[in-house]
Amino acid sequence: MDTKIISSSLIAVGIIAGAFTLGNQLEQGIRGFKDADRVVTVKGLSEKEVKANHVIWPVSFREMGNDLSQVYDQLEAKQNMVLKYLKDGGLTDEEITIAAPKLRDNLADNYGSQRPPFRYMITQVLTISSDKVDVVRKLDEAQRDLLKAGVGLTNDYSYMTKYSYTGLNEIKPAMIEAATKNAKEAAQKFAMDSGSTLGKIRRANQGIFSITDRDENTPFIKNVRVVTTVEYFLKD
C-alpha cells in the first residue's frame, strides 16, 4: 500500500515538474515568437539631378517642286549646307547618320479635284547621336544661321530630340546607401516613439531606379530616383 502511495506521489511530482517545464518552454517560445514578430517596415528615398550625357537629334528638312531632278539637286545643296553647319559647330562624321531621302508624289497621292501646287516633296533626315550634349543644344538653338542660308529645319513630332543619361552604374551605390540611411532614420524614429529599440534588418528590397525628365522644358536635365524598402526587428 505504501509503495503504491509513493509511486503515485512520484508520478504526480513528475507530471507537475513536466507541466512546469513545458509551460516555461511554451512561455519562452511565445515570448520569442512575439519578439521575432515585432517588426517595422519603412521606405527610404534617394533622388539626384543629373545632366543628360547623350543626345539623339534628328535634323530634318525638305524640298518641293515639280521637276524631280531639280528637287533632288536643291535637296542635296541643302544637305551640304546642313552638314557644314553641323561640322563647323563641333560634330564629326561619325556622329552623323544620313538616311535615305523620302519621296512623296503629291499628284499620285491626291484624291481630290484640286491640283497640288507642287508635285514632288522630298524629306531628308540626318540623325546626330552624340555625347556632346552642350554642343548639340547650341546648334539646335542657333538655327538662324541656317535660315539665313535658306534652309529651314522642319518641326515634326516624328523627329523629336531625345536626351538620355547612361551613367547610372556610377551613381547607383551612393544612391542606394543614401536611401538605406533614410529608411533607417525613419525606422529609428518609429522605434523611439514606440518605446522600442531598433534591431537587425529582417529583409530589404533595393527597389527600381527610374530616370525621368526634371520637367518638360528641360529634358536635358534628368531626375534619378530610387525607393528602398527595409524591414527591421524591434526589441524592448
- pLDDT tens for 140-167 read 988 888 888 888 888 777 889 999 999 9
Beta-sheet pairing, 120-130 with 102-105:
antiparallel
pLDDT on residue 150: 82
| Domain boundary assignment for the chain | 37-52+165-236, 54-164
pTM, two decimal places:
0.76
Q: pLDDT class for 189, splitting at 50, 70, 90?
A: very high
pLDDT on residue 10: 44
pLDDT on residue 144: 81
Does the pLDDT value for residue 40 go beyond 60? Answer: yes
Closest by CA position to 165, among listed 201, 213, 207: 213
CATH superfamily of 54-164: Protein of unknown function (DUF541), domain 2 (3.30.70.2970)
C-alpha distances (whole Å) from 109 to each of 116, 119, 123, 154 are 10, 9, 16, 21
Closest by CA position to 64, among listed 161, 158, 154, 159: 154
Beta-sheet pairing, 54-65 with 102-105:
unpaired
CA distance 151 to 149: 6
3-state helix, strand, coil in the chain (%, to 5): 40, 30, 25
C-alpha distances (whole Å) from 224 to each of 43, 66, 97, 174, 216 are 17, 51, 30, 12, 15
Q: State the cell numbers at 39.
A: 517588426
Mean pLDDT, residues 101-107: 90
CATH superfamily of 37-52+165-236: Protein of unknown function (DUF541), domain 1 (3.30.110.170)
pLDDT on residue 15: 46
* Contact by Cβ (8 Å): 190, 177: no
C-alpha distances (whole Å) from 20 to each of 6, 28, 30 are 21, 12, 15
Q: pLDDT: is 176 or 23 the higher one? A: 176
Distance of CA 8 to the CA centre of its chain: 76
Mean pLDDT, residues 77-99: 96
Q: State the cell numbers at 201.
A: 534588418
Q: State the cell numbers at 107.
A: 499628284
Residue with cell 524591414: 231
Residue with cell 546642313: 82
Q: How many residues does the chain have?
A: 236
pLDDT digits (tens, 9 = 90+) for 44-58: 999 999 999 999 999
pLDDT on residue 31: 52
